Chains A and B, each alone.
Chain A
Amino acid sequence: MKKYINLLSKKKDYQKKEKFFNLFRKITTLLGIVTIFILLSLFVVYQKIKSQHQSLLSKKEDYLNQLILKKDVEKQIIYFNEKSSLFNNILKKDVNFLPYYRILKTYLPVSTESADISSIKYDNQKIVEFALSFSNYEDLYNSLSNLENEEFLNIFDDLTLQSINLSETKIKNYQLSLKGKFKTLPIMEP
């Protein structure tokens, strides 16, 4: 049997492959340029960021060294902050009676000088028990009707008239006993 070689078709294939390798070479060159450019850029940026990191590290070290020299002052500040916050927290728990007593005296609806607070009990829950003494019945009567005075009631969250004592021994002594809870005042210095 006789064999035939089709040289024309082989030539076409060869040209196709030649073109492919031509394109491949171009792509490889372009890829090389791009890769080298990226690598160079990365190298420059990396060196820059590394030196920035190094300079920040030495800056931090400098500040730390300076702070070590002032360690005692720093300790004092921390100590002051802790103790002063303790001081403020403790003071908040105090009864702080004076402003409440002054307000009570100001708004107390007693019309004459013959009446006054005879005793007062006050705790840090702002619960107050107080007794008013009167030397005559008329003052007691007038004050009793004044107890509903709005300004006076406004200083309490709650107020109860607990007892009225009308004892007439040697000295006439009339007493009103009240119990209530003060409204919280804005923080006032004693």
Chain B
Amino acid sequence: MKKTIDIYTLRLAKENILFIVVFVLFLAIIIFFIPLQLKNYYDYQEKIKLLEQDINQLIKKQSIISSIDPKESSYLVQTLNSLIPGNEDYFSIFSTLESISAKTGFRIVSYSIKLYEKSKDKIIIKVEGEGTPDSFLKFLESYQYKGGRLITMDEITFSPGNFKTSLSLNFYTKDIKDLQQLSNLMVDKKTREKIKEISQEIESVSNISTAEGEFREIEYPTKQNPFTL
């Protein structure tokens, strides 16, 4: 049987057509428009959260940068570049060894470089030295950086009886071109103090060496070739 809308219902519907349309409209707003707006709101909140994090990082970065004296940092970078230069320079190796030798009294009598063991960032030098146990101990106190270059040892053969010593010394180079953008710019205070201390030690040693050099110049001729002993 076919259902028909009676005349009264039709009349009532016609009378309330505005309410029906408005009801549908509000319902559509509640179902579609408000969730969309809420999503936008949460998106903005997320963006604000990220922005606040970025700003906090920038503030931190700025405070670190402001806390560092540019002159001091350039001085420390210079020291590190002298300890680990960008390119290998044999002359600086020999001048470093001579400077330590002059300061400690531990005489270096021969050098040998195994070229096949040389890598891009490291050069190994076998050194034969002579000196009293005291001078050797002084050498051990100074070799790591007081000569102006970073030196490490792989092996030591020391004979206090006949004052002969053979050492395997490593010199390093590193050219840092691509600076990684670090999220943490924090400079380790301990490291900074250590490098500062090293800079001062190198400076004081080079001052002594310069003074000694001036004195020696009167007694000995200056070497033209650093490879000769």
Residues in A lying within 8 Å of B, measured CB to CB? 10, 13-14, 17-18, 21, 24-25, 27-28, 31-32, 35, 38-39, 42, 45-46, 49-50, 52-53, 56-57, 59-60, 63-64, 66-67, 70, 72-88, 90-91, 93-95, 97-98, 101, 116-124, 133, 190
The answer to whether residues A119 and B161 also contact, given A17-B9, A50-B44, A91-B152 and a CB cut-off of 8 A, is: yes
Residues of chain B within 8 A of A50, CB atoms compared: 44
Residues of chain B within 8 A of A117, CB atoms compared: 160
Nearest to A130 among chain B residues (CB) is B158
Residues of chain A within 8 A of B221, CB atoms compared: none
Residues of chain A within 8 A of B19, CB atoms compared: 21, 24-25, 28
Whether B84 lies near A83 (C-beta < 8 A) is yes
The 0/1 profile, CB within 8 Å of A marked 1, for residues 154-171 of chain B is 111111110000000000
Residues of chain A within 8 A of B229, CB atoms compared: none
Whether A25 lies near B156 (C-beta < 8 A) is no
The 0/1 profile, CB within 8 Å of A marked 1, for residues 7-45 of chain B is 011001101100110110011011001100110110011
Whether B77 lies near A76 (C-beta < 8 A) is yes
In the bound assembly, the distance between CA atoms of A27 and B19 in angstroms comes to 10
Residues of chain B within 8 A of A35, CB atoms compared: 26, 29-30, 34
* 12 sample A-B contacts, Cβ–Cβ < 8 Å, listed by A number: A31-B27, A31-B30, A49-B41, A63-B58, A63-B62, A78-B180, A86-B84, A119-B160, A120-B158, A124-B152, A190-B141, A190-B144
Closest 4 CB pairs of A and B: A94-B152, A63-B58, A56-B51, A83-B80
Residues of chain A within 8 A of B126, CB atoms compared: none
Nearest to A63 among chain B residues (CB) is B58
In the bound assembly, the distance between CA atoms of A74 and B65 in angstroms comes to 7
Whether B26 lies near A122 (C-beta < 8 A) is no
Find B47's partner among A53, A97, A101 (CB 8 Å cutoff). A53
Q: Say if the beta carbon of B102 comes within 8 Å of chain A.
A: no
Interface segment, B67-75, B90-98, B212-220? Answer: B67-75
Whether B161 lies near A133 (C-beta < 8 A) is yes
Known: A56-B55, A94-B153, A119-B159. 19 other contacts (CB 8 A): A21-B12, A21-B19, A24-B16, A56-B48, A57-B51, A67-B58, A74-B65, A77-B68, A77-B185, A77-B187, A78-B179, A80-B73, A81-B185, A86-B172, A87-B83, A95-B152, A97-B153, A117-B160, A122-B158
Whether B37 lies near A42 (C-beta < 8 A) is yes
In the bound assembly, the distance between CA atoms of A18 and B141 in angstroms comes to 105
Nearest to A26 among chain B residues (CB) is B19
Q: Say if the beta carbon of B225 comes within 8 Å of chain A.
A: no
Residues of chain B within 8 A of A25, CB atoms compared: 16, 19
CB proximity of B163 to chain A, nearest CB, Å = 11
Whether A49 lies near B141 (C-beta < 8 A) is no
Residues of chain A within 8 A of B80, CB atoms compared: 80, 83-84, 87
Q: Say if the beta carbon of B109 comes within 8 Å of chain A.
A: no
In the bound assembly, the distance between CA atoms of A73 and B61 in angstroms comes to 11
In the bound assembly, the distance between CA atoms of A30 and B9 in angstroms comes to 23
Q: Taking each of B19, B47, B137, B180, which has the highest tally of chain A beta carbons within 10 Å of its own beta carbon?
A: B19
In the bound assembly, the distance between CA atoms of A108 and B65 in angstroms comes to 51
Find B137's partner among A81, A84, A98 (CB 8 Å cutoff). A98
Whether A64 lies near B76 (C-beta < 8 A) is no
Find A60's partner among B13, B45, B58 (CB 8 Å cutoff). B58
